[in-house]
Structure 1
Amino acid sequence: MWQLNSASGFYKAPVCKCILGASFISSVLINFQHQYRDLFVYNHSLIVGKHQLWRLVTARVVFLDVKDLLIGSILFYNFRTFERRYGSRKFMTQMIGFFLFGSVLELCAVHVCKLLQFNMEPLPSGPLCFIYPLFVPYFLDIPRIELGNVFGIPMTGKSFQYFLGLQVASGSLETILVAFCGIISGILWRKNFLKIQQLIGIPNVVARFVYSIFGRFIESSEPKDTVLPMGATLELQRQERMDQIEQQVLLQSLREQGPPYNPNQNGPGLFGALNDGIPLAEFNEGLRQRNAPAADPPSDEQIQQLVDMGFTEERVRRALLMSQNDLNTATNFLLQDS
């Protein structure tokens, strides 16, 4: 038997639950009530020419394209791990920052395209301005673990999300603009451009007031620990995946402490390889030297901090032991295994 514990659902992620729930329900309803469809079109000409600024809000709520609805919902659900990592108040502040940066960048990009005499249609509707900026921390903060190869291209546990994002962005010039502006928004937020993170912070009193009113409706219960029978092959695959995560972190230690390596030998490939060109004997020797449990048990404060993010205590203890009690590395273990 394999105890399969995962922070599934929207536990510790009420903001994602509200945004995704409102977007999904309203998108389904609008696709049956076509008389209201025009209110949710992201028409930049009406926004700028007739000052219908309210369209910047309504166009973020509803997916008018069914394909965007399905793929966008999957991506946003996967990115809920960032709300658990940052906390709901900080995550909501991020969403506001993404909205402000994205709106300005998109309107400027459309204006430039019109000056270049491109024939511009309305931009795609839906909360894409919240989804594409999250690819920035997803790329930079979540470790890449190679799972296999397709036509010689290394594939990682993150590749599926990248393919979904490319699927939406490749639809038209307008979707490319929205995706590009979203990624730029994520970079600007990460760099704290114009001190935006301090300018739009949500006060604690406001957060507590909102939670006191809507908390019981948006809060999700803690997931129960479920014991599921798993075949021996699946159990070994899961254990191997966790071992690969550990090796990825140990490899970073090798890079910082070990001898120089040749990046052209068995290089990282499109999505990153495991040994990044270090000779196999040297790589395995480094792993044997550093693959030892933590000298001290994890502290109660570290355990509680990760448990508050929605992970079970058993998984938290295991992740801390694997990461030598490094909190950031343990968090990456848990996020990758969610």
Structure 2
Amino acid sequence: MPPADAAIPGLYEFQSTSMFRNAPATKLWIILLIFSTLISTITDLLIGNDYSYIYTLDDVFHGKILPLIVAPFIADGIPDLTISCILLYFYRLVERRFGTKKFINCMVITYVLMIAFRIAVIFLLYDTDPSNIGFPIGPLPLMFALFFYFAAEIAILPVTMILEFIPASDHHFILLLLVQYINTYTLCHFVLPAAVSTILYRNNALYIQRISILPEFVCANLRDSDTLLGDFAAEFEKFLETKRTKFLPVAATLERQRIEEEDEYERQLFRRNAAQNVVGATAAVFGFPPTAPVVGPPPEGLITRLLDMGFGDRETVIRALRDAENNVEVAANLLIQRNAFT
């Protein structure tokens, strides 16, 4: 979040989060998915190969693991590509909630757990030759796993009304897309492994969350914009992002921050006292004891909005919203001011 123009003092610039800002791994996934699928489709048309199954379990046992690695980045046709890209656009919120490093670790570990669970189920329930067990291409298995993470991490907020009385959220839209793939095969080989793998990872079974896929020196280079890798990562994060920004008023100096914070608390205290006086006067007229106004808990939508702005501590966000009486802009100012002193 770069500072605002010096010609506009006391303002702070917030970047738009409508695209893939703060979700570079999801953006890279979509780009690789599009290009790989187009190449696979063109090759299929020119050569006539059938890529419904790119490898078998017997190939994996013989060390051919490259198809296993590239499978989540090749969709099985244009319809699957379209739905996968739409789902990944929604799932970018999971990466923002986890952070890019944890998101990559989560996806890789979940994918490995799903494959291991599927192989175990096949050997336990079926007497099948490994050479006949095919692994379908496409990111569909991970799409089911990501839905479980999305449902667990992202609050259900109605974004529209169906027939003017049925609330619908992003979760319902994602579920409608995934239901189209539900059958006996996907239920046993995709949905069940995805659910089990998600539960194992979220509960940190065998301390699997301690496993780091990306080495720390790679992460340090990616964060450092002075290195070649870090400069490329910074430019890639800006790629395809919108230029829309929002300016919120904040203090320019620490002294001014203290003054504005004190003024804001005084304004809140004045509003509370004024409301109490009005309620007390009205109650006195009707013979009721005066009661102080009660401010309800912050709505989940306001909490999610501030978390998407980059304020990662949920408890701090809730406390700021309570202090600001559920005013998002005032709460954002309070959070920025408090972060300046920590």
Which TM class, normalised by the smaller chain length? Answer: 0.5 to 0.7
The alpha-carbon deviation at position 180 of structure 1 amounts to 2.3
CA distance in 2, matches of 1:103, 1:67: 24
> How much has 1:204 moved relative to structure 2?
3.0
Q: Is the 8 A contact 1:27 1:62 kept in 2?
A: yes
Q: Residue 100 of structure 2 aligns to which amino acid in structure 1?
A: S
Aligned to 1:21: 31
- Residues 92-101 or 103-112, more deviating: 103-112
Matches within 5 A, 1:7-156: 7-34=17-44, 35=47, 41-48=53-60, 50-115=62-127, 122-146=134-158, 147-148=160-161, 155-156=168-169
Question: 1:178: which partner in 2?
Answer: 190
Q: CA deviation at 1:127?
A: 2.3
> Are 1:162 and 2:181 matched, yes or no?
no
Question: Per-residue deviation at 1:48?
Answer: 4.6
Q: Match of 2:296? A: 291
Which is higher, the Rg of structure 1 or of structure 2? Answer: 2
Please give the residue correspondences for 1:175-324 in structure 2 after superposition, counting only pairs within 5 Å: 176-200=188-212, 202-210=214-222, 212-213=228-229, 214-216=232-234, 218-220=236-238, 223-225=242-244, 289-291=294-296, 307-308=309-310, 323-324=321-322
For residues 324 and 159 of structure 1, the distance between their equivalents in structure 2, rounded to whole angstroms, comes to: 30
Aligned residues: 246
> Deviations along 1:286-324, whole A, 9 cap, x unmatched?
xx8433889xxx9xxx97x754479xxxxx9xx868942
- TM (normalized to structure 2)? 0.59
Alignment partner, residue 271 of structure 1? none
Shift of residue 196, structure 1, vs aligned partner: 0.7
**Structure 1 vs Structure 2: percent identity of aligned residues?**
22
Give, in angstroms, the shift of residue 165 of structure 1: 1.6
Contact persistence 2:105–2:211 (CA under 8 A): no
Q: Determine the C-alpha separation between the residues in 2 that align with 1:70 and 1:210.
A: 30
Structure 1 residues 105, 323: CA separation in 2 closer, same or farther (over 3 Å shift)? farther
Alignment-mate amino acid for residue 236 of structure 2? I
Secondary structure, in 3 states, of the residue corresponding to 2:72? coil
User: TM-score when scaled to structure 1?
Assistant: 0.59
Higher relative CO (Cα under 8 Å, sequence separation at least 6) belongs to 1
Distance 1:176 1:124 in 2: 14
In structure 2, the gaps of 5 or more residues are 1-14, 247-292, 333-342
1:63 maps to a residue whose letter is A
User: Residues 74-125 of structure 1: CA distance to partner in whole angstroms, max 9, x if unpaired?
Assistant: 11111101212221111111122122212212222333453389xx873431
Distance 1:292 1:131, change over 3 A: closer
Task: Tell me, in whole angstroms, the C-alpha distance in 1 between the residues paired with 2:196 and 2:236.
Answer: 30
- RMSD of aligned residue pairs (Cα, Å): 4.1
Report which stretch shifted further, 44-53 or 142-151.
Answer: 142-151
